[in-house]
Amino acid sequence: HTHTHTHIAPSPHRLALPRWLASARAVLSPRPLLFPRLHAPTLSLRRTMSDEETKAQTAAASGDTIFGKIIRKEIPATVVHEDDQSLAFKDVNPQAPVHILVLPKKPITMLSKAEDSDGALLGHLMLVARKVAKEAGLSDDGYRVVINNGKHGCQSVYHLHIHVLGGRQMHWPPG
């Protein structure tokens, strides 16, 4: 006896799904209906890759990056902080109402490639993340700080950067 899977069509009457669930494809799995009121169809999820995940699968450390060009002012950005060691600017593809990227001016490709001698710089980046979060009004309700490292960490630009995300309730687990 075979089961067919029916895709759920979007409906204006359906409740809003959490972001992680909305990005997946939900499929109805038929269940025996011995007690129709007690057994409802269940959802099984087949996750699809996001654009960022697809980019991360093909990205590679290759010298100059878009972030290097932003640091050198070759590409415009909405800068919210700059000092001699770091730059922070608003992400052009925000994943939250507030999404700021904090990066070192020193070209470190990823956290796993940072050296012990970079310790003070890495600490400085965390302090800058705290500062820009406070200036963006995120201190009271909280925010998330994320560093993606490598392909499986979904890193799509190989210049170390910290994501400061806030302005909404974050979900757990994040990935």
Q: Quote the Cα angle for 128-133-134, to 5°.
A: 100
**Sign of torsion, CA 130 91 79 135?**
negative
Sheet of strand 162-166, all strands in order from the earlier edge strand to the far edge: 79-82, 86-90, 98-104, 162-166, 143-146
User: Is 161 labeled as catalytic in the residue annotation?
Assistant: yes
Element (H, E) at 58: helix 51-58
Active-site residue identified among 99, 159, 161, 163: 161
Other Cβ atoms within 10 Å of 161 Cβ, number:
25
User: What residues are annotated to the active site?
Assistant: 161
